[in-house]
Chains A and B, each alone.
Chain A
Amino acid sequence: MKYLTYISIGVFALLLIYAAYGLPYRGDPNALVNQEISLTGTPVASSYYIENAMKDANTPNMVTSVLGDYRAFDTLGEEVVIFAAGMICFLLLNRERKREARKQ
Chain B
Amino acid sequence: MKHGSSSPIILLLSRVLSPYIMLFGMYVIFHGHYSPGGGFQGGALLASSIILIRIAMEEKVHQLHFNKDYGIPLGAIGVLIFFGVGFIALIMGGYFLDYGLLPFPGMITAELRFYGILLIEVGVGLAVMTILVSIYDNLLEEDDDESI
Contact = CB atoms under 8 A, between A and B. Distances in A.
B113 A69 contact: yes
Interface in B75-95: 75-76, 78-79, 82-83, 86
Contact of B135 (A69, A75, A85): A85
Contacts of B96: 73
**Interface of A, helix, strand, loop or mixed by DSSP:** helix
Interface in A62-104: 63-65, 67-69, 72-73, 75-76, 78-80, 82-83, 85-87, 89-90, 92-95, 98-99, 102
Of the candidates B78, B86, B117, the one having the most CB atoms from chain A within 10 angstroms of its own CB is B117
A68 B117 contact: yes
Contacts of A47: none
Contacts, number: 103
Q: On chain A, which size bracket covers the interface?
A: 20 to 34
Contacts of B148: 102
A61 B97 contact: no
Contacts of B111: 58
A98 B134 contact: no
A60 B34 contact: yes
Interface residues of B, number: 44
B97 A93 contact: no
Interface stretch (B5-13, B17-25, B137-145): B137-145
A60 B79 contact: no
Given A76-B82, A79-B79, A85-B131, A64 B117 contact: yes
9 contacts: A58-B110, A59-B113, A61-B33, A64-B121, A67-B38, A76-B83, A78-B40, A83-B75, A90-B138
